Amino acid sequence: MDDPLFIWSARQIQAHPLDFYGFQLNWDGWYRPMPEVTQNPPLASYYAALIGSILGWSEIALHLGFILPALAVILGTYALARILGSHPLAAALITGTAPVFVMSASSVMCDTMMLALWVWAAVFWIEGLRSGNAARLGLAALLIAACGLTKYFGISLVPLLGVYSWMELRRVGPWLAYLLFPMIVLGGYQWMTHGLYGHGLLSSAASYATQFRVPGEAPEKILTALAFSGGCIVILSFAAPVVWGKKGLAVGALATAAIALLVVSMKKVGTFHVVDDTGVKWGFVAQFAVFVVSGLSLALLAFADWRGRKDAGSTLLALWVAWTLTFAVAVNWTTNGRTILPILPAGSILLVRRVERRGGLVDPGRARRLEAPLAASLLVALLVASADFKLADSARTAAASLARLSGDVRFQGHWGFQYYMERLGAKALQREALDFKPNDLIVVPMSNSYLFLLPEDRVSLLEVRRFETTPWLATMDNRTGAGYYSDGWGPLPFVFGPTPAEVYLVFRAK
């Protein structure tokens, strides 16, 4: 999806290291400066530039390079669970088998890198605070700053670790100065980018989040965020018998039925119509209801853990979950898998704590009851990642087929399709300057982004082409309600069920 933005920025960095966004591109129908297009800081692109310089710019090389931050997330979850007194291997396995983790680890975007820095910053901060080790606190401060320069959400660690520190020590101390360092760094970044590009990119990203939002009322956004949480961390569903017991399962079943009836009565969630001329989309409704209840169970895990312990660790985990969900609902311009990913290590530790509290990791017989949920979670994660790969590959296949049509080829649509089309010599259309001439071919991918109407008097439909993806599982399809990368496509991160082929229209200019 947005992977090309990071690759193009990395290419720019390789040529001009101090001018990371100093180029223009057509990402939405207009040629605009990169600082007006991207809403992410550049550290992940610097990392991609390093990979490209060492291993080359092939897709295999880039993906191999981005596996390292993914491994760091798993190891960091292990370390964090250990110092918070939870079973570390179980927490690491839950994180590593989650669909949102496998999906994020298979991209070349900034999300797993940000989370790796986040988790290890928390580890070094807690260890440094408990031991009074200034070196560990200093390293944690550096990692927090790097986290914020990888993705702006990373600066959320400052208030979270500030509350943790107060709860742990019950006094303000030298630790506060370390937390000021990342804020100074982000302030310097704002000042530097204002000098480079005429406006500070940190404040620009904040403004974008408030001005461009996927439509939806607050109840719909809350349900969507819960559904994304339940689907992205699907083990919450599979482990429910171990976590909640028979009474909890009965309550969960009633809640699932109630959510299903509520969604049907609403008729739509966000931009997706649950009820249309063909009737109720019961397959979607069932998955949505299960995932909403599973997401709600994560919030309940956080609250129950905090209520039972009321210590610094439980407060950190509860606020971690609460703030990530709040950000996904009310702050970010869209709810998607990328906004849910940061919740994963905290959710994994909370689930392990709940199972430990019920004796599930003390008694070997009960501990084995987590094996099946972990296996099921991994299976779903691999299926979802495979479906996402096939969706991306369909864009590459379509580009290879359509960019070589006889004549000059223009196209609409962006994401990976644009990346491959431009590599093959095709050019993206501009909205206000339709730079095509008679007999040019114009390709329109119907499931892509930033599409616009072509003047009927200047084009005629030549043919319709279809490219197959996974026919029974969708990750990004507004016809099925799957919107892993943006709930503007659908309120679920993925949907099991009949999935139509990707449709491409080919027009000939008159």
Confidence of residue 360 (pLDDT cuts 50, 70, 90): low
Q: What local confidence, expressed as pLDDT, does residue 359 receive?
A: 72
Domain end marker among 212, 231, 253: 212
Note the pLDDT tens digit of each residue in 108-151: 999 999 999 999 999 999 999 999 999 999 999 999 999 999 99
Note the pLDDT tens digit of each residue in 211-239: 778 888 889 999 999 999 999 999 999 99
Residue 379 within a domain? no
Residue corresponding to tokens 């580009």: 399
Residue 91 within a domain? yes
207 and 94 inside one domain: yes
Tell me the three state secondary structure of residue 281.
coil
Q: What local confidence, expressed as pLDDT, does residue 361 receive?
A: 65
* Mean pLDDT of all residues belonging to the chain: 93
SS3 sequence of 162-187: HHHHHHHHCCCCCHHHHHHHHHHHHH
Reading the block at residue 421, the tokens are: 């089309």
What's the total number of domains in the chain?
3
Share of residues in the chain with pLDDT > 70 (%): 98
201 and 237 inside one domain: no
Reading the block at residue 154, the tokens are: 């990373």
Residue 368 within a domain? no
With beta carbons less than 8 A apart as the criterion, state whether 196 and 33 touch: no
Q: Which DSSP string do the residues of 215-246 spell out, in sequence order?
A: ---HHHHHHHHHHHHHHHTTHHHHTHHHHHHH
Confidence of residue 365 (pLDDT cuts 50, 70, 90): low
481 vs 122, 285, 489, 499, 506, CA distance in Å?
Answer: 36, 10, 6, 10, 26
Furthest C-alpha separation in the chain: 75
Residue 378 within a domain? no
pLDDT for 348 beyond 60: yes
276 and 343 inside one domain: yes
pLDDT for 364 beyond 90: no
* pTM score of the predicted model: 0.94
What's the whole-number mean pLDDT along residues 384-397? 96
Beta bridge partners of 492: 482
For residue 201, the number of C-alpha atoms closer than 13 Å in the C-beta half-sphere is 26
What's the whole-number mean pLDDT along residues 46-68? 95
71 and 178 inside one domain: yes
Q: What local confidence, expressed as pLDDT, does residue 402 receive?
A: 92
Q: How far apart are CA 334 and CA 214, in angstroms?
A: 6
Reading the block at residue 124, the tokens are: 């070094």
Tell me the three state secondary structure of residue 509.
strand
Residue 369 within a domain? no
42 and 179 inside one domain: yes
Closest CA to 385 of 96, 172, 37, 113: 96
Confidence of residue 362 (pLDDT cuts 50, 70, 90): low
254 and 313 inside one domain: yes
With beta carbons less than 8 A apart as the criterion, state whether 54 and 101 touch: no
Residue 24 within a domain? yes
Closest CA to 224 of 94, 84, 370, 328: 328
231 and 101 inside one domain: no
* Length of the chain in terms of residues written: 510
Residue 383 within a domain? no
Domain end marker among 164, 186, 212: 212
Beta carbons within 8 Å of 226's beta carbon, 6+ residues apart = 291, 292, 295, 296, 299, 325
Q: How far apart are CA 419 and CA 396, in angstroms?
A: 9
Q: How far apart are CA 478 and CA 447, in angstroms?
A: 7
Q: What local confidence, expressed as pLDDT, does residue 367 receive?
A: 54
406 and 269 inside one domain: no
Among 13-27, 333-347, 349-363, 474-488, which is the least confidently predicted range? 349-363
Q: What local confidence, expressed as pLDDT, does residue 373 receive?
A: 95
165 and 60 inside one domain: yes
Q: How far apart are CA 275 and CA 264, in angstroms?
A: 7
Q: Are strands 409-411 and 427-428 parallel, antiparallel or unpaired?
A: parallel
Residue 14 within a domain? yes
63 and 208 inside one domain: yes
- 365 vs 401, higher pLDDT: 401
Q: What local confidence, expressed as pLDDT, does residue 485 receive?
A: 95
Q: How far apart are CA 241 and CA 465, in angstroms?
A: 46
Closest CA to 32 of 213, 209, 208: 208
The residue segments making up the domain with residue 318 are: 218-362
164 vs 289, 318, 464, CA distance in Å?
Answer: 34, 11, 57
With beta carbons less than 8 A apart as the criterion, state whether 302 and 154 touch: no
49 and 121 inside one domain: yes
237 and 202 inside one domain: no
